[in-house]
A and B are shown apart, each in its own frame.
Chain A
Amino acid sequence: MNTHSHSEKLLLSGDEAVARGAWEAGVRVAAAYPGTPSTEILEALAPLPEVDAQWSVNEKVAYEVAYGAAIGGVRALTACKHVGLNVAMDPLMTSAYTGINAGFVVVVADDPGLHSSQNEQDTRWVGLYGKLPILEPSDPAEALEFTKLAFELSEQFDTPVLLRLTTRVAHSKQDVAVGMRVAGPHKAFRVDAAKYVMVPRHAGPRHAVVEARLAQLRDHAEQTPLNRVELRGRQLGFVTSGVSYLYVRELFPDASVLKLGFSYPFCDDKIRAFAAQVQALVVVEELDPFIETHLRALGLPLRAKHPSFQVGELRPEFIPAIVRGEEKQVKPFPARKPVLCPGCAHRAVFTVLRDLKLVVAGDIGCYTLGASPPLASVHTCLCMGSGFTIHEGFRRAHVHGDRVVGVLGDSTFVHSGITGLINAVYNRVKGVLLILDNGTTAMTGAQHHPATGKTIREEPTQKLVLEDLCRACGADHVDVVDAMDTGLFRRTLEQRLQDDALSVIIARSPCWQLVRTRHAPPEFRREQCQQCYECLEIDCPALSKAADGMIQIDPARCTGCNLCVDRCAYEALLPLRAEPDADSCPGTCG
């Protein structure tokens, strides 16, 4: 992000616009753990010299670091995806009680339509539950403006402010007018135990402060121009927020709209006055009936979407059906299934797990792609860190004996897998836990974490040595193997499954996208091929069945990893390794 340009227009994504808005507002500390679609906020802040930015170990840590900076006297921001906020819920709920000192903005990006997430939770309920104000921009231009405003509101009302995005706001781009940075406050922390030390004696009075503040925020909601009445035709009056507002404007350009940019607490008077001016009130919102529930409680007659629209993202063409009260009709839309990259070391590991017919308690990361056939060797995926703990549950259930392993990635292990390992040691469970260490947070686009030894700015830092940590936690055996060496990995795993011990195996090999080394593709010998298609069982996208039933290798995609070679019992695939060739990518890929 070019911070020198001002009074000009840049094509910014919602995430980049939040970063720009925070920078313009004088933010000094920003902390996050990556998560689609929020990751690019910190990536855009990291290079800016005025901002102390970090990838934190997880969202709870990020929240607390940013909160600490805010009560410590400077404007601070944390950002996460919707499920990331679940991890930070503990500090969030009580930070509502303490309030802040300098401005504190919590950016949360929901993912309606599950573009890259494990659930479709609607973060707006957190405003209600945590008694915190929510600002909801509709597009990148508003994301910039609302971020700046969020810092001001945070200080004005002494509260953390939630800035809620959705995928279509975070990842859409728009021409955005940018401005310059203000210095931002520099306020000393005043020792005030009644405000910052939340013991029962203090928390009681602070709860009363929270309720009083909510009443003030309600008044503010009535005044703020973010809740905007646009009167046009009076037959239809829409109440809407976020990207849904843009869909309504697109499809019903002549209708009246009450746009809720400050979407919690609600502006009841404004809503009632608007309802009185239109013939039919229609609520259009994505995911849960958040606005609808409130308006019904106000006793307003209204039309809202059929419950079938609560599942999946809203699309502009759905709006007329919503207005008519119809059920959702969607044609199934065949999307190509994503697969592990050619050359990915996760593929090697899952091939072995499948061959050994193990029950695999999995986790979230690129390796979750190992769940789809023909690999089909990830059998659970719940939330980050659960690979090890679900493994423990399986062991304790004693139904599958010792044919169970727990699997998670290196970034996930540091995020929330360590506690599961310690729990297993402490509670004396036996078993085998695998850490797939590809040296990055690949799923979200390759971010650093403590075990890569680099910071968000690519600066060297103390490297967390996973094997030392696992030993320190008390695992009986810790093996480190090359993940691409399927023979060694298999032997090690079989041995450890037999041991009456708690073992950790670190399967290490860098994410292919980081190294991009290419070797010559294996040679395919037609005359040897028995058409058993055993090689296709590893699900490599560079390998396919040709029209004549023979195997074909796509030389543009094959990395020459030779994983398929080992699968062939008839020597129809022969390794043809030349010296490694650094990928000569001209940077044209998306």
Chain B
Amino acid sequence: MEPRTYNMLFCGVGGQGVLKAAEICGLAALRAGYHVRKAEVHGMSQRGGSVESHLRFGAEVFSPLIPAGQADFVVSFDRIEGAKFQDALKPGGVHFNRYLPLLRKHGIDPRFENTFFLGVLSRFLPLAREVWLAALAQGFARAPDENRRIFLLGAETDLGDGT
């Protein structure tokens, strides 16, 4: 287990599966034996407002919120929402606004965008493939095969930035 803390800020608008994506990433980290903290705001998500969820895991994590400027990843499902979190990112962190075009390129159904981005995120995190797939199955009761296929697409496709 790596001693450092990983900080992921998931953001988008209600209905995009932002909270679900963070939840599955958290379940995967939990399965891998990490200490996990997650913070989110419920309530307005269903009605199209901004949604954000902070997910952190490591050997020991205190704050459930990622302090400003310490996110390793901003996993944005919406360009405008993502742009608001530029300051959240740590120097050298990865902003998923750069991967938004991949969604269109691969023709990802909006309902599976979160699964695709989890696949992309999985390339950067020290969590084994089996752990991810188990968390995915736990998190999505429906359409298990399609979720798995799209996750693997995100995990293996050429990101076009040398990553």
A residues apposed to B, CB below 8 Å: 9, 11, 36-37, 115-116, 139, 167-168, 171-175, 243, 246-247, 249-251, 253, 315-317, 331, 333-341, 366, 369, 444-445, 513, 541, 556, 585-590
- Number of chain B residues close to chain A: CB under 8 A: 52
Residues of A within 8 A of B41 (CB): 115-116, 167, 171
CA distance A116 to B51 in the complex (A): 13
* Contact (Cβ within 8 A) B14 A338: yes
Residues of B within 8 A of A9 (CB): 30
CB of B1 within 8 Å of the partner chain: no
Select from chain A the residue with minimum beta-carbon distance to B88: A317
Residues of B within 8 A of A251 (CB): 63, 67
- Min Cβ gap A381→B in Å is 15
CB of B75 within 8 Å of the partner chain: no
Total number of residue pairs linking A and B with CB closer than 8 Å: 141
Residues of B within 8 A of A338 (CB): 14, 44, 47-49
Instruction: Knowing A36-B42, A37-B42, say if A586 contacts B143 (CB, 8 Å).
Output: yes
Residues of B within 8 A of A316 (CB): 63, 65-68
* Contact (Cβ within 8 A) A172 B48: no
Instruction: Knowing A250-B63, A316-B63, say if A173 contacts B43 (CB, 8 Å).
Output: no
* Contact (Cβ within 8 A) B111 A172: no
- Min Cβ gap A73→B in Å is 35
Residues of A within 8 A of B17 (CB): 588-590
* Contact (Cβ within 8 A) A11 B30: yes
* Contact (Cβ within 8 A) A247 B63: yes
CA distance A444 to B50 in the complex (A): 17
CA distance A331 to B84 in the complex (A): 11
CB of B125 within 8 Å of the partner chain: no
Residues of B within 8 A of A173 (CB): 23, 26, 36-39, 64
- Min Cβ gap B125→A in Å is 16
Residues of B within 8 A of A139 (CB): 37, 64
CA distance A99 to B18 in the complex (A): 45
Partner of B15, one of A115, A315, A590: A590
* Contact (Cβ within 8 A) A171 B42: yes
The 21 listed contacts between A and B (C-beta, < 8 Å) are A174-B37, A174-B64, A175-B34, A243-B63, A251-B63, A253-B62, A316-B67, A335-B49, A335-B50, A338-B14, A340-B47, A541-B48, A585-B111, A586-B111, A587-B140, A588-B140, A589-B15, A589-B16, A589-B111, A590-B14, A590-B16
Select from chain B the residue with minimum beta-carbon distance to A248: B62
List the 5 closest pairs (A to B, CB-CB), nearest first: A590-B19, A338-B49, A116-B43, A172-B64, A250-B63
Instruction: Knowing A171-B40, A513-B46, say if A588 contacts B64 (CB, 8 Å).
Output: no
Partner of A336, one of B13, B40, B68, B87: B13
Partner of B115, one of A167, A588, A589: A588
CA distance A53 to B47 in the complex (A): 28
* Contact (Cβ within 8 A) A590 B47: no
* Contact (Cβ within 8 A) B47 A366: yes
Residues of A within 8 A of B126 (CB): none
Residues of B within 8 A of A167 (CB): 41
Contacts A11-B36, A316-B65 aside, 8 further interface pairs with beta carbons under 8 A come to A167-B41, A175-B34, A243-B63, A247-B65, A316-B63, A336-B49, A341-B46, A590-B45
CA distance A335 to B14 in the complex (A): 12
* Contact (Cβ within 8 A) B48 A590: no
Select from chain B the residue with minimum beta-carbon distance to A446: B46
Residues of B within 8 A of A335 (CB): 49-50
* Contact (Cβ within 8 A) A175 B30: yes
